[in-house]
Structure 1
Amino acid sequence: MKIAVLKEQADGERRVAATPETVRKLVALGATLAVEAGAGEAASFSDDDYAGAGAVVGSSADTMAGAGIVLAVQGPDPASLAGLADGAWLVGGLDPFGSRDRVDAYAAAGWEALAMDLMPRITRAQSMDILSSQSNLSGYKAVLDAAAEYGRAFPMMMTAAGTVSAARVFVMGVGVAGLQAIATARRLGAQVSATDVRSATREQILSLGAKPVFVENVAGIEGEGSGGYAGEMSPEYRAAQAELVSGHLAKQDVVITTALIPGRAAPRLISDAQLASMRPGSVVVDLAVEQGGNVEGAVAGQVVTRHGVRIVGHRNVPSRLAADASALFARNLYNFLSAFWDKDAARPVLDAEIGDAIRLTRGGQVVNQRLLA
């Protein structure tokens, strides 16, 4: 089985889908690894590193020739995969809801597209979950980005000239990214609070030393959707939450929003009026900006100022930590392939539970039920 790793094509994408570490492990399974020259350069992995790990480094055409599996961070342009054999696997973060035309093209070409971003949230798939590994880094980087934009110190400082108060940080959405944001802000010495529509996250917030901010005694507080994601809230809950959050936002120095609902636009958490209530010099980091944004006025790929508040909307935050993000992403892919590797067949053979969840295309058709619904 030949596994190909191409240089990422998306603008600003610095990650790579395999590292010398995972190349070495895949070769040990019995696979042949081919890596396009320069594929890991932006993530600080040289061609010599890959060659030393056992990969064949060459041109894009040579890398693709005869490949049975292609690994990618983001779904490649179908035109770049010309010559890929019918039935070959394309494995990576394929953004099936946001890139449906590309998925249709994969189907028309006869490839089997496997979207790692649809990996089910079950215990045995945790080590394969690219969303969790990348979100963890996003939460960390969001705090550093906020600190860079905020014109003051994060921790309380007591000096002979007087005391500097600790920054007040509010995290909205306590998934993987939110939890890491809480932990990072706490490590930097900030006074941290957090909220989520899922009441089960209260204990997680407290365990990290932050203050939970929750609506009480209103229908819809549970907020638990499928797969551990937040679901839609009742109108009563949304109104109560908006009132509670408005009062809390006005007192905050830094706000980090992380709320996403798979397959849908990001929910609006902060309105323009709420931004106007914040003090000039405050900072808001919107980690959902590429899915429409949690913050009114956030612009993908830009840092903008509204009402004196800096709104940070960096694209592709994990890619801004390319070496670590690539290492985690590549391990997710290796864990996936190795878990299903059949030594006799010399290739991975998927089971129904995970295969049906992540398979987008097969036999020239789009087959994923979430895309067909």
Structure 2
Amino acid sequence: MNFIGPTNTVGIIDSEETTLALLQQALTMGFKVVVLTQDPKSITIPGIRIIQGDYQEVAKLQLLFDCSDIVVYDSEFLHLDHLDQITDRHKLVQGTEMLELVQDRYLEKSFLNDHNLNIVPYAAVIDDADLAKTVEEIGFPCILKPIQKSVHSLDGVIFQDAAELENYHVPHGSFVLESYLDIKQEQIVLINKDDRQKNVTYPIIRLNCQDRWSHTISLYQQNEAWLTSEIEEIAQTIAQNIDYQGLFAVKLCITTTDMLYVQRIYLGTMFEANIYQAVTNYSQEELFWRSVCNWPLPQVSVHQDACNLVFTKANLTRAIDLITQHPQWQLQYCPNLAQLNPYLGYLTVFGQDQTQLQHYINPTQIWQI
């Protein structure tokens, strides 16, 4: 693929929650931008060409390809079933292999298992008999999730014991049953791949959940060497064994017994990686565009320890109170996030090290690191 630089045209298949940030970054980098969207009123940024329509409409999708030098997407919920009818479909530089993999929980787990990565025991389930059999094999606690991630079931169905399983009936469809872990901490690592399949890994993000919605997102200058080494090795294994160009992420967890598991793969940008903007020289959106447009992939380093405190309507008042007390902290209000969950935004806290961050954050009694 040729270098895509300022004045070239990039086409975006709208994914609603992340499109605006990608649009803004594309304009900053000098690109001309075309967006295929069902909701043109949601695109409030001037200077954007809009094609109104659904990405499943072949004519509208073809128009997007015709007027763009490359075409990109940033959602795992797209089903590009009609791509074989599109002329110049090579312009979709990310391809569809990764997209199809992350949409299907069973395929994703099979891919990770085939490459000898540590994942929880799992099995496919289609009816009550399957469920009873696989529970015997996997044991309690366990969680049942739809195979297709586009079937919205945020947490899945958790079974702690036989009594909870007794009166449950598997709905119509295909599911994955897997062990339910007692998680101490989660990590996310972002990986970028260019058109030569060269890949770069970025600083590890740490997640700590206090309850269903209150959680923290941290980025540190220093991490445990063993953990960094293992996570980077896992990221490289995945990156080297899939045909994909662009930004993606791998989510892992450490259990209370100190076992490291690979949980899942994410495609494109993600809410948790917004923390890069505050403490590195790059936003995740710039990293996204660099890889798909064949720009050199930079090394990214953390200049200052920081933590994002994710807030909802329930603790918005507390977040506002904290920002009035700390002039160096930053607040990002993102009400559009509430379309998918109750998040309203995040408060970025800066510290010299993890100890100072704990001093600031833990006394809030809402967020903990």
Same fold per superposition (TM over 0.5): no
TM-score where L is the length of structure 1: 0.31
Q: TM-score, normalised by structure 2?
A: 0.31
Higher relative contact order structure (alpha carbons within 8 Å, sequence separation ≥ 6): 1
In proportion to residue count, which structure has more helix? 1
| Larger fraction in strand | 2
